[in-house]
Structure 1
Amino acid sequence: MAMHDDQVDVTCEIVATLIQDQFPQWSGKTVRPLSSTGTVNAIFRIGNDLSARFPLRLADAAEARAVLEQEARASAELARVSRIPVPEPVALGKPGARYPMPWSVQTWLPGTVASDADPSGSDAFAEDLADFIATLRKADTRGRLFSGDSRGGVLTHHDEWMATCFEESEGLLDVHRLRQAWSHFRKLPRTGADVMSHGDLIPGNVLVAGGRLSGVLDTGGFGPADPALDLISAWHLLQPGPRDVLRRTLGCDDLEWERGKAWAFEQVVGLVWYYLESNPAMSRMGRRTLDRILESME
């Protein structure tokens, strides 16, 4: 089942043809689809050292290329500051054989995503994650400010989306309780200046090896945002004990911690209903994180 009404399907045959036409130096490499709970790109492994990402939702080709170019710049910038391995941009492909949009090629990172190798009970993993977030926070914003329309700006700008989520979640979740929670979250004041953030530290974007953080994926959103934004990882990835370790390591005060919880809440309420049938694993992840958030508010 397609996740989006405007979804563009991509097959190994299409990918192999695009590679042969545009990057013949890689035409002998095996193309393998990667199973993923991701909702933005179809991902294929090319040989042993590359991966290709194909946007799933149909968009104007020129606009899509501009987005991919910006993501490549962001990924390269994050790679320069991170001590944890991250993918690095390699090339941008063009529309071609049965695929109408540009696409991207990155380096391949080994490891197991956190949704498969659950590190949620590990204090050491929590410390690794905190160190990664702290490193990004120290990166120079170069005077840039949050400029997107997703998470990381102003909480009240998401009121309309949250109203939609509450309507769609009737009969699925305790909507009365969710409305009460959002009424609290949306009023939390912002005090800290923008810092550099990954922006989407969910289990599918985090790699684990030996119970430790071994890599971080999907780095194209690296940019300035609310300092609390990357704290969504505390709720997506950690049980209460390690969650406290992350908080102490980062030195989060009560307000910043609550705003991190608010951004996680804004994300997961939408995941539960939107992907209920089209991406059950993503929906379940959203519900688990939501349960953690609500339990912390009891």
Structure 2
Amino acid sequence: MISIELAKKLIDHQFPEYADLPITSVEQQGHDNHTYRLGDALLIRMPTAEAYALKVPKEHALLPKLAAHLSINIPTPIKMGAPSKDFPYPFSIYKWLDGQSANLVHIDEDALDCIAVQLAIFLKELQNIDGVDGPEPGQHNWWRGDHVSVYDKGARKQIANLENIIDHKACLHLWENACATSWKQAPVWIHGDFSSGNILINDNKLSGVIDFGGMGIGDPACDLVIAWTFLKGKSQEIFKQAMGLDADTWTRARGWALWKATFELCYIKEKDSAAAAFQKSIINSVINERASVL
């Protein structure tokens, strides 16, 4: 089991130059990785399974190249630890980035409107990166950036399993419309897991974007899901207009949001819980939204 004690043991054995630094847990641990602060300026990030460990060398190789093209802070790799008898996967030491995950802070409407613009600027900068080769979608990033139909079987099964609590006909209609469109331009850089948990906020402003394990080259629609999972009302419209993308791309984005929300809802046992209500609200938003160039 990953713990502070294990993190300290790995640091002591592989990076003794950091052995005297205190190790503390972050406010909330992620699913794919566990993170601990290492002193004031560093952090240690440890994948929780082999599939997530595939992302470690990718991030170390590519993040410094991407950072040169971005105005928003992203993780800076410092060291990569090797698999060992104590921990079977590679792990990372990164520079610490100030800020709290957006899902852990209260953000007022005015600040959210400004953050929507900053999120769009980040994504457009990322999408406009040229001259840096990246991986195509695949197992390494759970096919983010691929055509949304890569999850066709799963999406249809999820919708069928939820037919008693969602408008399954409207969901299928949206899903089929999304699958009927495609990205007709050159593939672009994507983050791959652009969610509120991976967005850092400091002083009511976007201060950083983290967890690039899902990055790759492909269709940008998957990164637009943030419009429904984090933004709302005016901020949502500001974000959509700032992105300047075509109606088909937004339809695929709604398809990605539908797939993810139905996936999450299927695994929530208490279908009347607040967590379930949040996923239902995402589903209702994407199936009721008018497809247009926004």
What TM-score does the superposition give when structure 1 sets the normalisation length? Answer: 0.83
Counterpart AA for 2:124? A
Instruction: Pick closer, same or farther for the CA change 1:225–1:68 going to 2, 3 Å.
Output: same
- Picking from 37, 42, 47, the partner of 1:45 is 37
SS across alignment from 2:213: helix
Q: Partner residue of 1:6? A: none
Q: Partner residue of 2:21? A: 29
SS across alignment from 1:188: coil
Counterpart CA distance in 2 for 1:266 and 1:155 is 9
- Picking from 127, 138, 147, the partner of 2:117 is 127
Indicate the larger mover: 135-144 or 208-217: 135-144
SS across alignment from 2:189: strand
Q: Partner residue of 1:94? A: 82
Q: Partner residue of 2:173? A: 180
Cα deviation, residue 176, structure 1:
4.6
Q: Partner residue of 2:194? A: 201
Q: After superposition, give the CA deviation of every residue in 1:189-246 in whole Å (9 maximum; x if it has no partner).
A: 3323211121211000001122221110102333211032321221222113111111
Counterpart CA distance in 1 for 2:133 and 2:9 is 42
Q: Contact (CA 8 Å) 2:134, 2:189: kept in 1 or not?
A: no
Counterpart AA for 2:118? D
Aligned residues: percent identity? 27
Counterpart AA for 2:187? D
Counterpart CA distance in 2 for 1:127 and 1:50 is 29
Q: What is the root-mean-square deviation of aligned Cα atoms in Å?
A: 2.8
The count of aligned residue pairs is 284
Q: Contact (CA 8 Å) 2:22, 2:39: kept in 1 or not?
A: yes
Counterpart AA for 2:198? N
Counterpart CA distance in 2 for 1:281 and 1:74 is 38
Q: Contact (CA 8 Å) 1:50, 1:108: kept in 2 or not?
A: yes
Counterpart CA distance in 2 for 1:267 and 1:120 is 26
Pairwise mapping of residues 61-100 of structure 1 onto structure 2 (< 5 A)?
A: 64=53, 67-96=55-84, 98-100=86-88
Q: Partner residue of 1:152? A: 145
Instruction: Please identify runs of 4+ aligned residues in structure 1 that moved more than 6 A.
Output: 280-284
Q: Partner residue of 1:261? A: 254
Structure 2 unaligned residues grouped into runs of 5+: none
Pairwise mapping of residues 159-178 of structure 1 onto structure 2 (< 5 A)?
A: 159-166=152-159, 168-169=161-162, 173-178=166-171
- Picking from 270, 281, 294, the partner of 2:287 is 294
Q: Partner residue of 1:3? A: none
Cα deviation, residue 183, structure 1:
2.4
What TM-score does the superposition give when structure 2 sets the normalisation length? Answer: 0.84
Counterpart CA distance in 2 for 1:10 and 1:281 is 29
Cα deviation, residue 140, structure 1:
0.8
Q: Partner residue of 1:20? A: 12
